Amino acid sequence: MAKIIAITNQKGGVGKTSTASALVSGIAEKGYKVLAIDMDPQGNLGFCLGIDTENALTVYELMKGTANIHKVVVHKNGVDVIPANILLSSAEQEFSNFGREFLLKKGIATIRDSYDYIIIDTPPALNVLTVNAYVATDYLIVPMIPEILSLMGIAQLTETANLVKSVYNPNMEVLGILLNKYDGRRVLTREVEDMAKQVGIEMNTKVFRTKIRNSVAVAEAPAHGISVYEYSPKSNATKDYRALVDEILSQKGMKVNAKKK
């Protein structure tokens, strides 16, 4: 059964989608079978992975029940993707029936055994889409940038995650806090890192040893529809993301026997 990891932070601009895209491609690079799920109406994860999100069935149709899982999965560059687009922005109003928190979990239930890892990218908001991701996932990874406002946003995220854990998904764990756009030369970076470690203790988790350094390659790769590994194999970000993949897969309970891709 696949290990499911949701990348989450209610604050935008912290590198959620870049992290999700890099994990999807980096884990697949190691021979594992990976499914990417985009839960953000902006559709950026699908775009980063080379999907034409405007002309594809999406997670919206899956959650609505108008398309089954096999119709919405797109095969691209060695990974499978369930994309999203702007139609998903109506979810808060449209998905109002009892049990709406379980729409994603039910939608992917029949194919979970077909993958080693499933990576979910969440929107920069704590709404029904984020809650669906939390209900479906095993683990959360919380990206942030070394700024005070980014750190403050984790407090509200923690409240929502704890509520979901207590009511819907008692097995969910926070795998770690990830520092993006890291520059260890800055005093503020080091100060925020120390505070993030304290927040990690309060969340019963940690800050990942691996930090993702600034790199223009991260911003440029999506325009070419390829991973940062392929676009700029020698960049700092590529080295850091590969190290992050290794760190994640080395954690207790995260290893699986790879399926044939």
Distance CA 135, CA 129 (A): 10
**In this structure, is residue 259 part of a structural domain?**
no
Distance CA 84, CA 61 (A): 9
**In this structure, is residue 261 part of a structural domain?**
no
Helix or strand holding residue 120 (H, E)? strand 117-121
Instruction: For tokens 């984020």, name the residue.
Output: 130
Evaluate whether 161 touches 172 at the Cβ level (below 8 Å). yes
- Structural domain including 122 reads 3-249
**In this structure, is residue 260 part of a structural domain?**
no
| pLDDT of res. 109 | 96
Under DSSP, the state recorded for 257 is P
**In this structure, is residue 255 part of a structural domain?**
no
**In this structure, is residue 256 part of a structural domain?**
no
What's the domain count of the chain?
1
Distance CA 114, CA 175 (A): 23
Helix pair 148-167, 128-136: axis angle to 10 deg: 60
SS3 182: strand
Q: What is the CATH number for 17? A: 3.40.50.300
| pLDDT of res. 184 | 81
Over the range 233-246, which residues count as b (16 or more CB within 10 Å of their CB) and which as e? eebebbbbbbbbbe
**In this structure, is residue 98 part of a structural domain?**
yes
SS3 52: coil
Nearest Cα neighbor of 88 from 17, 45, 137, 40 is: 40
- Per-residue pLDDT of 89-100, as tens digits, reads 998 888 888 899
| pLDDT of res. 202 | 87
**In this structure, is residue 142 part of a structural domain?**
yes
**In this structure, is residue 208 part of a structural domain?**
yes
Token pair belonging to 43: 């559709």
- Kindly give the confidence (pLDDT) of every residue in the chain, 261 residues in length, as a single tens digit, with 9 standing for 90 and above: 899 999 999 888 899 999 999 999 999 999 999 999 999 999 999 999 989 888 899 999 999 999 999 999 999 888 999 999 999 999 888 888 889 999 999 999 999 999 999 999 999 888 999 999 999 999 999 999 988 888 877 878 888 899 999 999 999 999 999 999 988 888 888 898 999 999 999 889 999 999 999 889 898 988 887 899 999 999 999 999 999 999 999 987 787 877 755
